[in-house]
Structure 1
Amino acid sequence: MHNFGLTERIARVDWSGIRKMHSMASQLDGVINLGIGQPDFDTPVHIIDAAKQALDDGYTRYPPAQGFLDVRQAVAEKLSRQNGIIADPETEIMITVGAMQVVFNTMLNFIEPGDEVIVMDPGYDYFSQIKLFRGVPVSVPLKEENGFRLDPADLRAALTDKTKLLVINSPSNPTGAVFDRALMQEIADIAIEHDLLVFSDEPYEDLMFDGREHVSIATLDGMKERTITAFTLSKTYAMTGWRVGYAVGPETVIAEMEKLMEHLVSGVTAVSQRAALAAIAGPQGCVDEMNAAYARRREIIYDGLNDIKGVSCIKPESTFYAFPNIKAVGKSSWDLAEYLLHDQRVITIPGPIFGDQGEGYLRLSFAVEDAELKEAIARIKTGIEKLTA
């Protein structure tokens, strides 16, 4: 097919490895999906009801590019109450198409050709957005022996005079690691010392286990003015398909994001914003119920994986992901993931999708029903025992 002169920048964007796995799985029957990063719950009823009411109330027209003011005000109250971030809803908050738009806009607004962007490895795939604007991703290793938490010495070693932006994601996809307050303070000190902009991606802020504290780096002294924070309703409220998130940052940054919104998508769907208001300002018992299920499933997957010869897994501190070490099985991550898919009909995600340090690991989502999760682990055990017999 004629490509009609597609730009060189498009070639720098890779197809999602997660989508590749799901494409292979679409040809098979009886597959259990431990690959997709979304809750298995339905959106809570009171949120759906708010969307239905919004349709009756006429929320079918263009919304403001920055988002409805009452939604931004609810976000500001939540940020103050839960995160400790004091943000002006008029100038420092924007409603976005999920957290992904905040990632894209941040890279579009700040990355010039040759700028270096620090990313965690293994970590969520920010590489394509960085390379789209001719930035250079610079990976900092997160080691299993350190609980997949950042070693500040490794961060310092990665810095150069070309470093423009530092990307952090805590709680972390794919490892489930949490950066505690002391570590966040060390990161903040480095950012201030080297005059770095920080992008903090926090979609899993509510999925915490064992009483751990979520720390938004923007709350630390000297960080609000140099931090762009991305939040989403997708994970907390099982609203992945509604496509609503929000950006928090300095007034000048939010103004530029609002300007670009007009040229990108005009604004976030009006009905979705009304649903978001009900989620943020409404009862939070639904969040507790979902998190209780994730906590129970975490124990199932942790115990089950560590019962498989050749597999070891540290207990996730947050999110609904486990990141087991499969090096002793003797296959690469991709080879083992494809084997488990075809031989056992279980979707897992190869670790290298999340960076070079992910080789030797798989990412497994435990956002599936208990019985299905147990069956998937039993299949994985059977498949690996066949390989290692």
Structure 2
Amino acid sequence: MNIEKFFAKRNSGIEWSGIRIMFALADKIDGVINLGIGQPDFDTPVHIRDAAKEGLDQGFTRYPPASGFLDLREAVAKKVETENKIKADPDSEIFISVGAMQGIFNVMLHLVNPGDEVIVVDPGYDYYSQIRLFGGVPIRVKAKEENQFKINPEDVRKAITPKTKVIILNTPSNPTGAVFDRKILEQIADLCKQHEIMVLSDEPYEHILFDGKEHVSIGSLEGMKDLTISIYTLSKSYAMTGWRVGYVVANKAIIAEMEKLMEHMVSGVTAVAQRAALAAISGSQDCVKHMVERYAKRRELVYTGLNSLQGISCIKPESTFYAFPNISSFGMSSWDFAKYMVKEHKVAMVPGSIFGENGEGFVRISFATSSENLEKALGRIEQGIARI
């Protein structure tokens, strides 16, 4: 019996994550150093875990409000006004989501009709399945290595057509570590206002910045509040990937749609996880500073180590915990290079082509692991390229 005949046609737009495919390969090999995983290696800070335990004792085990607890939304409102320079009403313009991923999925569901075009940065995080699931058409704008992987607003202008509905921006950027500066965002904002295009601003790495770089939320720019859906997560900043808590800041009409759908989808974000999130946002931010300091030291190790290897060049990441080295000199596809390294030298990394056509010739390496692991991995990579 062909079970697939029961599948909805829309499923054809969904692809397996290339990252998960690579992880599945790595899991079959003993002794692999995994430099592919995109999550902090730190434990969730103690005060956040304690808040969750207290929440259990206080009875936060029942259905939560669909849009999230009010005290958490109030804390988010204070945070985004102070840090992101966006003023949002906690009653109507903030939605607590199951991580940033649910927020992104909901935006595609609520905004994208069949045939609508969605501009994405290439290389950039893989939003393609979410776009195609609802009949959208991804339109790639290249972020070139010679421009430090920052998009040229003129290229964005050329990509705009009457069908353009949404532009997705991810800054600080995964996988490149690039930060789009205020000037770039202002020019993109002008285009969005001129053509009435919505921006989905995906900002999970907002706190992981190096060398004094500034993170600017495009929703804070003049005239952009109602044209921006800003999406945040606690996963990266607070080492809370498994808690699945994020939040969305947007026009109240969009938030109302998200709340309505939440009631039919998962009811709400786990109550006790929201108590942990409240402690994370409202409590001391020293834990974030400590983690970023550790990432900064590891970045130096990886950047210096990669650039010392024959045939590899790497731009210094301005943010995130990723390096995106150029491996094109070896004459292998990024998939073949990554498979060779994991199978023959037990170092897992992510092929750059997963992040778009312009990511071919690169691999993503995470430095969200110990310095000891990074040093061992660099040694294995050196041995590997010597045998190519």
Identify the TM-score tier after normalising by the shorter chain. Answer: over 0.9
Partner of 1:328, secondary structure, is helix
Distance 1:299 1:128 in 2: 34
CA-CA distance at 1:4 after TM superposition? 4.9
CA-CA distance at 1:25 after TM superposition? 1.0
Aligned partner letter, 1:322? A
More displaced 10-residue stretch of structure 1: 258-267 or 3-12: 3-12
Number of positions where the alignment pairs a residue of Structure 1 with one of Structure 2: 387
Partner of 1:240, secondary structure, is coil
Does residue 177 of structure 2 align to residue 181 of structure 1? Answer: no
Aligned partner letter, 1:173? N
Aligned residue for 2:242?
A: 241
Partner of 1:209, secondary structure, is coil
CA-CA distance at 1:219 after TM superposition? 0.5
Aligned residue for 1:15?
A: 16
Aligned residue for 1:332?
A: 333
Aligned partner letter, 1:243? R
Q: Please, what is the CA RMSD of the aligned residues?
A: 0.6
Aligned residue for 2:385?
A: 384
Distance 1:362 1:104 in 2: 26
TM-score, normalised on structure 1? 0.99
Does residue 93 of structure 2 align to residue 97 of structure 1? Answer: no
Aligned partner letter, 2:360? E
Please give the residue correspondences for 1:253-268 in structure 2 after superposition, counting only pairs within 5 Å.
253-268=254-269
Partner of 1:21, secondary structure, is helix
> For 1:196-244, what per-residue CA distance to the aligned partner results, in whole angstroms no more than 9, with x for missing partners?
0110000000000001110000000010011001000000000000000
Distance 1:256 1:5 in 2: 29
> For 1:141-190, what per-residue CA distance to the aligned partner results, in whole angstroms no more than 9, with x for missing partners?
00000000010111111111111111100000000000011111011011
> For 1:325-351, what per-residue CA distance to the aligned partner results, in whole angstroms no more than 9, with x for missing partners?
001111110000000000110100000
Aligned partner letter, 1:131? R
Does residue 279 of structure 2 align to residue 278 of structure 1? Answer: yes
Please give the residue correspondences for 1:205-216 in structure 2 after superposition, counting only pairs within 5 Å.
205-216=206-217
Structure 1 residue runs of 5 or longer lacking an equivalent are: none
Aligned residue for 2:369?
A: 368
Partner of 2:344, secondary structure, is helix
Distance 2:197 2:13 in 1: 25
Aligned residue for 2:40?
A: 39
CA-CA distance at 1:5 after TM superposition? 1.1
Does residue 36 of structure 2 align to residue 30 of structure 1? Answer: no
Aligned residue for 1:165?
A: 166
CA-CA distance at 1:2 after TM superposition? 2.2
Distance 2:172 2:308 in 1: 26
Aligned residue for 1:152?
A: 153
Percentage of identical aligned residues: 60
Distance 2:45 2:189 in 1: 37
Aligned partner letter, 1:54? G
Aligned residue for 1:67?
A: 68
Aligned residue for 2:220?
A: 219
Does residue 136 of structure 2 align to residue 135 of structure 1? Answer: yes
Partner of 1:192, secondary structure, is helix
> For 1:66-96, what per-residue CA distance to the aligned partner results, in whole angstroms no more than 9, with x for missing partners?
0000000000011111111100000000100
Distance 1:197 1:77 in 2: 24
Structure 2 residue runs of 5 or longer lacking an equivalent are: none
Distance 1:285 1:2 in 2: 52
Aligned residue for 1:348?
A: 349
Aligned partner letter, 2:209? M
> For 1:293-344, what per-residue CA distance to the aligned partner results, in whole angstroms no more than 9, with x for missing partners?
0000000000010011110000000000000000111111000000000011
Distance 1:105 1:12 in 2: 16
Aligned partner letter, 1:312? S
Distance 2:206 2:3 in 1: 45
Aligned partner letter, 1:225? D
TM-score, normalised on structure 2? 0.99
Aligned partner letter, 2:26? A
Aligned residue for 2:252?
A: 251
